[in-house]
Structure 1
Amino acid sequence: MDEKIKSEVCDTSENLNADPEVRIEGKSFKFNKRIREAITHFHLRSLNTFKKRWEVQAINISSDTFTEFLDTIQRYNENELWTTENLLELWDAARVLQNPCLISSVETKVGDIISDENFVTIYTKAKRYQSHVLCIARSFLQRLFAKRPCDMGLTRILTYEDFSYFLREGILNVNSEDIVLRSIFEWAENCENQDQILEINKEDQIKKPLDRKTKVLCKKEERVENRSSNLSKLLKSSRYGTASLQCLEELSKHSLSERDQDVKLVFEKAISYKLDSSTHGYWPPYAMARNDPDCRNVGVLAEKDQVSTLILEAHSWVRLPICPLHELITNVTVFDNELYVVSRTNNESLLFLYRNDDWTFVADLPGKNFIVVSKGIFIYAFDSTSRSVKCVSPRFTPVIRKEIKFPALMRNPESALDFDKSILIFCSTDSDERSAVIYLDVPGHEWTYVGGLKGSAKNLAGFRNETTYFILQNDGTISQIVKNQDGSFEFIFIEKLWSISCALRGAFLYRDILYIFSNSPTQFLSLNGIMGLFYKFEFWCQGLRASNFVQYIKSI
C-alpha cells in the first residue's frame, strides 16, 4: 500500500513539471524544454490567463502568432533562449511551416548570431536550405579570411560559388598557395555527391554569337567547357603556378586528378612551367603571387638614356633613376624576374641590372647592334656584325659563357622572339614581301631553317597567352605561331589592326588587354578586340629613339 501511494506521488510530480505539446498550424513540433517554456509563457500572457504552465496540456497557435513570439524573443535573453541550438530548431520549424514572413524573421536572427564558433553549423544548414543566410555568412567569412593566417579548414564546406568567389577576388590571405590547393582538394573530397563537382557552369552557356562561324565555335567551346569540372575551375581560379613543385606533383597523383582530364592538364601545365626556366619574362595569371602589395605589373621602355615604366592599371608613366653611364639604351630585357638593359657607348655595349632602385654594371658586350632575348639560363645577344650569338649569364664569371656562330643560311636578322623551348629569328630577304625564319633550339643550340613568313621581319613583336604564341608585324598583321607534329611551322593569319607600317617596339597581353608600343602613330582598321585573344588594346607611341617594350613585375 505504501509503495502504491509513493508511485502516485511521483507521477503527479512528473505531470507538474511536464511542458505542454506545441502545435503550430496543426503540426506538432518537438522543441527542446527551453523553447517549450518560452512559447508557453508567451502564449499564456497573450491570453491574459492566470493558468499555470502545468495546467496547459497543449498549445495550438498559428504561424503568425509564432512570428510574433519570435519578434519578442529578445526579452528571453536572460533565460539563455537565444542560443545557436535553439535558433536552429526554430529555423527548422519555420521551414516546415513554409511561411515566408516567418522564414525571413528567423533567418534574420540567425544571421545576427553568426560567429567563429557556430559558423560551420549555420553555413551547412543555410547551404541545405539555399537560404539568403549564405550571403551573410559569405560576408562574415570574408572578414574572417582577411585575418592572417586564414582558417582554410572552413573552405571544405563552402558552396562552389562562394569558394570560387574567394579565389577569384583574391580574398584568401595565406602564406603559401600550397595551402589553397590542398583546401580545394579537401573541398572536392567533401562534396556531397559527384554531381556537384561535375555540374555545368550556367554562365558558360550565355554567349552571344557574332556570326555563323563564331556561333559554331562558341558551341564547340561550350561543350568542352561544360565538361570541365568545378574542381578544375577552382584550380584555374587559384594561383597554382606559385605553389611548390612538391605540392603540384603530389596533387597531380591524387585520385581526383587521375579521373579528371582537365585537372591533369592544369597540373601538367603548372609543373612544366616550374621545370622549364625558359619562361623568363612571362607571368601567366596562375603564376602571379597572391595578395602581394609590393609588386606591380608594368611595361618597360627606354628612350635614349631614360628608362620608364608604364603602370598598366593607372595608364601612367613613371621614370626610373638615371644611370650616369647610360648614353643610348638599345635593349631592355627581363631575365630571372629582374630587369636588364643594354646601353651603347662608342663601339661597345654595357649590360646593367636594375635592382633596389639602383643600376649595377654587369658586363661589357663587344659590339653595338644587338637583338636581345632572355631564354632559359642565358640572355641571348644576336650580333649581326660578328654573325654570332653571345650567351650571357649575368650571375656567373665569365659573363659571356658561350658564343654560337650564325648558320650560313641566316642573314640580316631583324627580330628574335621567345617561342616554347626555342628562339625564332626573323631575317630580311631580298624582297620586303617575304622574310626568312630560323629556329634556335634551347638549350641544345641547334639551328633549323623553318621557312618563310609573308611580310617584313623588321620591328616584329611577339606576345603570348597561357598556351599560344603570336606575332605582330609592323603592318598591323597578327598571326598565330603553330608548330606541327612533324616539326614544321605555320603562321596563321588572325587579324589586321592597321594598314600603314609603323615602327613597333613590343607588345604583350595583360588581363585580356593587348598593350602595343610603337615609335610612330598609326590609324587602326580594327577598333575591337579579337574574340578569345583579347577584348581591347592599348596603343602607345613615343620618340624615334625608343628601345624594345617588355613586361615586368616591379617591386614598389
Structure 2
Amino acid sequence: MDRNRRKSYNITDCPSCDRLQTDLDVQIEGRKMNLTQQLTLTIYNFYTKNTTIESLRKDSHVINISEEKFKEFLDTISVYDSDFRSFWSIDSLLEIWETVRVLQIPELIVICENNIGRVICREYFETIYVTAKLYQSHGVVCQAKVFLKRLLMTADEMHLYSILSFKDFLSIIKDNRLLVRSEDIVLRSIFLWAEKLDKQEGGSGANEDDQQCPKRRKLDSNVPCKEENVLNENTSELSQLLRASRYGLASIECLQELSKHHLCDKDKEAKLILTKAINYNLDRDTHGYWPPFAYPRNPGLFCLVGVLADKDQVSVLSLEPLKTDLDSWMRFPRCPLHTQITNLTVFDNELYVISSTGFESLIFVYKNTRWNFVFDLPNKDFIVISKGNLIYAIDGTSSSVKCVSPRETPVLCSEIKFPDMMRTPESALEFDKSILIFCSTDSDVKSTVISLDVPEHKWTDCGHLEGSAKYLVGFRNETSYFILQRDGSISQVLRKQDDSIEFIFIQRLWSIQSALCGAFIYRDILYVFSNTPLENVCLHGVSGLSCRTEYWYQEQGACKFVQFFMPTDDDLRFEEDSDHDMEDEDEN
C-alpha cells in the first residue's frame, strides 16, 4: 500500500455525537475494545470512509476492523501531535496495547508502544512502567527512564523512583543527565526504595530483578534498551545504589540523618559509605581533591572550574565538559579595589582573593555574584593556605603567619611567629594535619622544609628537599599528597611513623624551569598552569596517578591557579566580551 497517498483524519472529521449511536462496539480481529467515545467515533468515521462496503447498516452496533486496517488507522492519526493527548486517552492506549499483545501482532505492538512512550506522565507513570515490565517491553521501559531523567527530581517525585526495579534505578542514579537540585534527594530516594524492598521481601534482599520473568516475545530482541550495568553481586542493593550516586555532594545534615537509619544497622557497607561521605564533607573545601563520588552532575547547580588570578582580574575555565584551549576563559565581575591580586584560595567553598595596595593587603570573598570586603592585613606578597577553620597568610616580611578566621563576626586575626630555624618562605602546601612550608637556602638546589601542625600550631623541622623551593605547587588524590617542582619533578609526600616527612620521587614531566602557579587532579587528568611556555612537548600521564597531563600557560604574571565548585547560574562573561566592555567604558 502506498503510505504517501493515505488521507489523514483529524478529530474534526468525526460526525457529531447526535448523528451516531453511542453504543458502538469496536473490535479488532473479533476482540472487543473499551475505548473512549471520542476515539470510537473517530474509528467509526475512518472505517466508513475506507470500508469496501458501500455503506454501513445504520442499525449496526459492531465495527470489526482487520489487523491491516487498524494498522493503517494508527499510522494515519499519529501525525496529529497537537491533538494527541485529547485524541488518545491513556486508558484507551493501554486497552489497545493489551489487545494487540493478545493478538500477537508485532507491527501493531510497535505502533502502540511508540505512542505509549509519548504520553508518559507523573499520573500514569506507575501504571505504564509496571505494565511495561510485565509485558517485557524494553522500549517503553527505556522511555520511562528517560522521562524520569528529564523530570526535575524533587521530594514530591521520590515515590516514582521507589517502584523501579533495581537495575533501572541503578542506571538512572549513575546517569550524569539526571536532573536534581540536591543529591540529598537522590540519597533519600535510595533509602525510600530500600525501605519498600525491605518491607515487601521481609529483608531478604530479593527483588523483581531476581525473580523468574515471563518468556519474552520475539519482538523484544529487536528493541533492546542500550545500556550496561555492572553489578556486584557480593554487595547489597542499597550499598550499590549509594556507590552509584554522587554521595559526596550531599549535605552533612542529610548524611548524618541517613547514617542513623535502621537499614544501616543491618548493612555495614552502606554505613561506611555514608561515614566516608561525612568525613569528606567536613574537609571538602580545603583538601583540594574531588573524587568520583563528588563529581557534579552535568546539569547540576554547580560545576567544577579552574580559577586563575591574573593582575587585577579573576578568570575561570569550566572543566565540564573539558576544553583545553584558552579561548573559553570567563571572567568574574571586576572589583575596582583589586589593584594587584597576589593570591587566591578556596575556603568553606567560597573564593577568596588577596589584593595588595601600597603597604597592605585586602581580602575579598566572592559571594552573591559580587566581591565583598573581608579584612585588611599589613604587608603584601603572602603565601596563602586554607586549612581547617582558618586562612593562613605566611608573611616573610614580618616573619610570621597571620591566621584569619573569616567565619567570625567581626573577623578575627591572630599571629604566629616563625621559629628561629626558618628562613625565607617560597612555597607552601596543605598536607594531612599540617602545612608544609618550603624555604630557600644558600643553594638553589636544596630547600628546607618546615611543618606547622594545625590546629596545635606546633613547628617541626622536616629536613631538606632536593631542588628549589620556588614555584613549587602541591596536589593530591583521594589517598595521597604530591608536590610538583618547577623542573617537572613529581614526588609523593609521606609521613613516617616517627612523624617526620619523606619525599619519594616518582617521575619528571619536563626538563625546563617552569614558573608554576598551581596544579590539581580531576577525572584522572593532571591540570597544571604556569607562566612559562612549554611548546612542542607531549606530556604523558603519571603512572598510577593520572591518565594525562594538561599544561596551560600564559606569558604574563598569573599568581595562582586553583579548582573551585562554582554555581552554574553565576553571571560570568567571556574574556573577549569583558575586554570590549572595558574599552567602551574608557571611550565614554
* TM-score normalized with structure 1 length: 0.71
Quote the residue 1:391 is aligned against.
403
Does the aligned pair in 2 maintain the 1:502–1:520 contact within 8 Å?
A: yes
Name the residue aligned to 1:499.
511
Structure 2 partner of 1:303: 310
Residues 438-461 of structure 1: CA distance to partner in whole angstroms, max 9, x if unpaired? 332222222334454443332111
Match of 1:177 in 2: 183
1:125 corresponding residue in structure 2: 131
Q: How does 1:402-551 map to 2 (within 5 A)?
A: 402-429=414-441, 432-483=444-495, 487=499, 489-523=501-535, 526-530=538-542, 533-543=545-555, 545-551=557-563
Whether the 8 Å CA contact 2:35–2:95 is kept in 1: the answer is no
Alpha-carbon separation, structure 2, partners of 1:374 and 1:103: 62
Equivalent in the alignment of 1:334: 346
Secondary structure at the residue paired with 1:548?
strand
Q: Is the 8 A contact 2:438 2:448 kept in 1?
A: yes
Which residue of structure 2 aligns with residue 136 of structure 1? 143
**Structure 1 residues 89, 497: closer, same or farther in 2, change over 3 A?**
same
Mapped to 2, the partners of 1:393 and 1:194 lie a distance apart of: 52
Count of paired positions: 499
Q: Which residue of 2 aligns with 1:215?
A: none
Cα distance, 1:136 vs structure 2: 2.4
C-alpha displacement of 1:360: 4.5
The aligned runs of 1:320-399 (5 Å cut-off) are: 320=332, 322-355=334-367, 358-396=370-408, 399=411
CA contact (8 A) 1:198 1:229 kept: no
Q: Report deviation, 1:165.
A: 3.4
Deviations 1:255-308 (A, max 9, x none): 54445555333311221134447637666665577688775543333333x123
Q: Please tell me whether the aligned partners of residues 390 and 404 of structure 1 are also in contact (alpha carbons under 8 angstroms).
A: yes
Measured at CA, do residues 231 and 466 of structure 1 come closer, stay the same or move farther in structure 2, by a change above 3 Å? Answer: farther
Note closer, same or farther for the CA distance 1:553–1:248 as it changes in structure 2 (3 Å cut). closer
Change (3 A) 1:299 1:289: closer
137 and 346 in structure 1: CA distance in 2 versus 1, 3 angstrom threshold: closer
The structural deviation recorded for 1:514 is: 3.0
Higher relative contact order (Cα pairs below 8 Å, separated by 6+ residues): 2
Give the alignment of 1:205-244 within 5 angstroms: 227=234, 231-244=238-251
RMSD of Structure 2 on Structure 1 (CA):
4.9
1:247-266 correspondence runs (5 A): 247-260=254-267, 262-266=269-273
Structure 1 unaligned residues grouped into runs of 5+: 1-18, 206-222
Q: What corresponds to 2:276 in structure 1?
A: 269
Q: For residue 328 of structure 1, report the CA deviation from its aligned partner.
A: 3.5
Distance 2:237 2:277 in 1: 18
In the alignment, is the contact (CA less than 8 A) between 2:96 and 2:112 conserved in 1?
A: yes
Q: In the TM superposition, what is the alpha-carbon distance from 1:375 to its structure 2 partner? A: 1.5
Q: CA deviation at 1:84?
A: 5.7
| Counterpart Cα distance in 1 of 2:396 and 2:365 | 24
User: Does the 8 Å contact 2:153/2:185 carry over to 1?
Assistant: no
The amino acid across from 1:111 in the alignment is G
SS in 2 for 1:507: strand
- Determine if contact 1:300/1:550 at 8 Å carries over to the other structure: yes
Confirm or deny that 1:168 pairs with 2:175: yes
User: Is 1:157 the counterpart of 2:169 in the alignment?
Assistant: no
Is the CA contact 2:451–2:462 (under 8 Å) kept in the aligned structure 1? Answer: yes
Quick one: structure 1 residues 279 and 369, their matched pair in 2 at CA, closer, same or farther if it must change by over 3 Å? closer
Q: Aligned pair 1:245/2:257, yes or no?
A: no
Letter in 2 for 1:240: Y
Identity of aligned residues (%): 51
Matches for 1:20-99 after TM superposition, within 5 Å: 91=97
Deviations 1:306-350 (A, max 9, x none): 123132256433444555554543222222333333333454433
Give the partner amino acid of 2:188: R
SS at 2:274 equivalent: helix
Cα deviations by residue, 1:454-489 (Å, 9 ceiling, x for unpaired): 433321112234444332221222334344666455
Q: CA offsets per residue over residues 131-165 of structure 1, 9 Å max, x none?
A: 2111222343345x148776221112234345533
- State the one-letter code of the partner of 1:444: E
Deviation (angstroms), 1:124:
1.7
Distance 1:198 1:489 in 2: 52
AA aligned opposite 2:435: I
Distance 2:422 2:507 in 1: 28
**Deviates most, 522-531 or 385-394:** 522-531
- CA deviations on 1:27-83 (whole Å, 9 max, x unpaired) are xx9x88889xx9xx99xx999999x999xxxx9x9xxx66766665899xxxx9977
The more displaced of 291-300 and 452-461 is 291-300
Residues 322 and 499 (structure 1), Cα distance of their counterparts in 2 relative to 1, 3 Å cut: same
Match of 1:15 in 2: none
TM-score relative to the length of structure 2: 0.68
Structure 2 CA distance for partners of 1:194 and 1:472, relative to 1, 3 Å? farther
- The gaps in structure 2 that reach 5 residues or longer are 1-24, 78-85, 212-226, 572-588
Q: Structure 2: which amino acid aligns with 1:188?
A: A
Q: Distance in 2 between matches of 1:358 and 1:374?
A: 21
Q: In 2 relative to 1, CA 161–66 (structure 1 residues): closer, same or farther, beyond 3 Å?
A: same
In 1, the alpha carbon distance for the partners of 2:351 and 2:559 equals: 14
| Contact 1:370–1:383 (8 Å) recurs in 2 | yes
